[in-house]
Amino acid sequence: MKTPQLPHPNLAQALGLTVELYIKREDLLDPYGSHKGRSIPHMIKNYTRDGVREFVISSSGNAAIAAIHSVKIHNENNPDSQISLTVFVGQHVDEHKLHTITSLITNHQLPITVEQVERPLQSSTQFAKEKNATLLRQSTDDSALFGYHELAHELSHIPNLSAVFIPVSSGTTAEGIATGFETTEINPQIHIVQTLACHPIADTLRTSPPLVEEGQRGVTTSLASAIVDKIAYRSSEVKKYVQSSGGVAWIPTEQTIQEAIDLLKTEKIEATGNGALALAGLKTALASGFVPSGAVVCLVCGR
């Protein structure tokens, strides 16, 4: 399940880096299209081993896509042990993501349904109780962490790796990678990146100087629209791993995210704001005086 992690010397030069810069292409994780394909299939596989046959998920993006692919693959390989999935998406879901989700279930024989509702998390929780279904919720389920250990092991093969920049919503990916590094021989800095529209975990990591300047407050939407978890149950654990590794939390401006999108285009990488967020975090870090001691890697987490 390896994805490309290649150095980009021209990009490093454009940023003024004197160390190697790697881009980790989780958007090329086939067939899932995002890093969620590390975790969601792992969760489903573990639960089906315990006899679970019905799942539900609240997601308007990559997690739902990964879950649908996982259920389809399981059912193709296990015709006598089928599992089902109900996906709840919000009313304001990105149209491209919704099209991707619905196009995956064009075969009406599939035991997969998608429902668009006002409160998808509340609906999925209620469905899980009423139907005795298992809720696939990475932010509160520690089984989600182990799928990212493989990602950490892949990253550990980057020579002289000193820092990893990770886009963070719930914090599951960052915590999973950090715990994965504990099983390797390296301990790179864990840098997390959030947005002006959603940054609860970043707020716990640095308050002086403030991460968000006065003139930037009040932003409610971001080019990185996948960063949405304002509850952040994993904030204390993520804070622990970031601090112990010597990392920092970063909140780039929307202009910086756009600049990161444009920079990736020069490397023939077509990224959304979500995919470019880690690079935007690195740009913000460098502008703030960050000097890496060795190679740096930015995760392009999804399409």
Q: Note the pLDDT tens digit of each residue in 105-118.
A: 887 678 999 999 99
Quote the Cα angle for 13-16-18, to 5°. Answer: 80
The model's pTM:
0.94
Report the percentage of the chain scoring pLDDT > 70. 96
pLDDT at 193: 97
Strand partners, 190: 164
In sequence order, the 6+-apart residues with CB closer than 8 A to the CB of 20 are: 7, 9, 12, 159, 160, 295, 296
* 129-168 pLDDT, tens digit each: 999 999 999 999 999 999 999 999 999 999 999 999 999 9
How far apart are alpha carbons 22 and 56 in whole angstroms?
A: 36
Q: How confident is the prediction for the chain on average, in pLDDT?
A: 93
How far apart are alpha carbons 151 and 39 in whole angstroms?
A: 10
Instruction: Give kind and range of the element (H or E) at residue 56.
Output: strand 54-58
- A 10 A CB-CB count for 35 gives 28
CA-nearest of 214, 225, 198 to 302 is 225
CA-nearest of 244, 272, 270 to 258 is 272
* 272-294 pLDDT, tens digit each: 999 999 999 999 999 999 999 99
Q: How confident is the model at residue 215 (pLDDT cuts 50, 70, 90)?
A: low
Q: What is the DSSP string of 200-255?
A: HHHHHH-TTTTSS-GGGTT----SSTT---SS-TTHHHHHHHHHHHT--EE---HH
Is the per-residue pLDDT at 42 higher than 70?
Answer: yes
* 44-65 pLDDT, tens digit each: 999 999 999 999 999 878 999 9
Quote the Cα angle for 146-152-156, to 5°. Answer: 150
How far apart are alpha carbons 72 and 152 in whole angstroms?
A: 26
Q: Which residue reads 């962490």 in tokens?
A: 145
* 21-34 pLDDT, tens digit each: 999 999 999 999 99
Is the per-residue pLDDT at 249 higher than 70?
Answer: yes
Is the per-residue pLDDT at 208 higher than 60?
Answer: no
Is the per-residue pLDDT at 219 higher than 60?
Answer: yes
Is the per-residue pLDDT at 93 higher than 90?
Answer: no
Instruction: Give kind and range of the element (H or E) at residue 123.
Output: helix 120-131
